[in-house]
Amino acid sequence: GEDVEQSLFLSVREGDSSVINCTYTDSSSTYLYWYKQEPGAGLQLLTYIFSNMDMKQDQRLTVLLNKKDKHLSLRIADTQTGDSAIYFCAERRTSGTYKYIFGTGTRLKVLA
């Protein structure tokens, strides 16, 4: 199907690691993205990964990509209360009509 799937909610304690998962659908997607959305705001690009990579690290963020299973994850180390937001994964498709497909979003709540 067309859907990019994410779990709806995740709750972690401050200082712990958060892992947000995403399952995408198009094996030909060349770029996969993670965006963060805070209340009342637009989407902030956090990081992206090319499909020929299996891992990318950027400060507290680690992206893992399993192309065989079409699974993408975002790990946030030392999660802070300011990380509380909705996180969206997105795939950029190249097959058929070009378009971005966004996941349903995962609401991360960080408990102090």
Could you say which of 29, 105, 106, 110 contacts other proteins (CB under 8 A)? 105
Q: Which amino acid is at 74?
A: L
45 binds other proteins (CB under 8 A): yes
| CB-nearer residue toward other proteins: 25 or 48 | 48
Query: What is the distance between the alpha carbons of residues 13 and 71, in angstroms, rounded to a whole number?
Result: 25
Query: What is the distance between the alpha carbons of residues 104 and 15, in angstroms, rounded to a whole number?
Result: 26
The token duo for 70 is 């079409």
Q: Which amino acid is at 78?
A: D
| CB-nearer residue toward other proteins: 42 or 82 | 42
Q: Minimum distance between the CB of residue 90 and other proteins, rounded to whole angstroms?
A: 8
Where along the sequence are the contacts to other proteins (CB under 8 A)? Answer: 31, 33, 35, 40-45, 48, 88, 92, 97-105
